[in-house]
Amino acid sequence: MTKLTDKEKELVRIGTAIGSNCIACIEYHIPQARKAGLNDDQIRLAINIAKGVKKVPGELVLEAALNVLKKCDNELKKVLVLCTGNSCRSIMAEALINHLLGERYLAYSAGVTESVVNPFAIKILEEIGIETSGLRSKNVSEFLLRDDLDLVITVCDHAKESCPVFLKPVPKVHIGITDPAPYSDRVDAMAFFRKTKDEILAKVIDYLKDL
């Protein structure tokens, strides 16, 4: 039997909750799905599939599910982690924030220029049980017209100095994180990426916990 990922488990649970007309279950599992790393499009797809396969669509339950999504959007603080290439530090920070603080924050990441996600960053995240299938390198231009960001965290000096102007004024904080990318070709590369992961936990995660 194929082992389900955390994301797949939460999708199944959302579908089951809708199928059983359990509004309380939906209110619980949608935030859990976000914490597992699912985005809104994936959650809405699960909701619509669950609605479509049922003989009785349960419109009130479906409406409740969508309302939970809207409520989550309004309640979660949206954080953008910005670095130079969005390949290591900011990607790892995005995943760690959503995994550890998903009940309070919805994190995104981007780079001053987009690149490719470093495979060692993926390995480090998977090493501690974080789902990585949805992670991709993004350019900060994708976020400039958003008016719902609550905080921008820059994790490298270049991003701090090149941080663009967003549609809505957004508070910014600089939390310098060591870049492990220069060590990618070394046989002990994972050790450097683990140190960066620990640095993110000690600096970024603890900072957001205390806000």
How confident is the model at residue 33, as a pLDDT? 77
Question: Three-state SS string across the chain, please?
Answer: CCCCCHHHHHHHHHHHHHHCCCHHHHHHHHHHHHHCCCCHHHHHHHHHHHHHHCCCCCHHHHHHHHHHHHHHHHHCEEEEEEECCCCCHHHHHHHHHHHHCCCCEEEEEEECCCCCCCHHHHHHHHHCCCCCCCCCCCEHHHHCCCCCCCEEEECCHHHHHHCCCCCCCCCEEECCCCCCHHHCCCCCHHHHHHHHHHHHHHHHHHHHHHC
How confident is the model at residue 30, as a pLDDT? 76
d(CA 201, CA 123): 16
pLDDT tens sequence for the chain (211 residues):
456 667 767 777 777 776 666 667 777 777 777 777 777 667 776 666 666 554 434 555 556 566 666 655 566 889 999 999 999 999 999 999 988 988 788 899 999 888 899 999 999 999 998 878 778 899 998 888 888 899 999 998 877 777 777 878 899 999 999 999 999 999 999 999 999 999 999 999 999 998 8
- Active-site positions read 83, 156, 163
Rounded to two decimals, the pTM is: 0.69
How confident is the model at residue 152, as a pLDDT? 94
Q: Give the chain's domains with CATH numbers.
A: 6-74 (1.20.1290.10), 77-210 (3.40.50.2300)
38: tokens are 């699912």
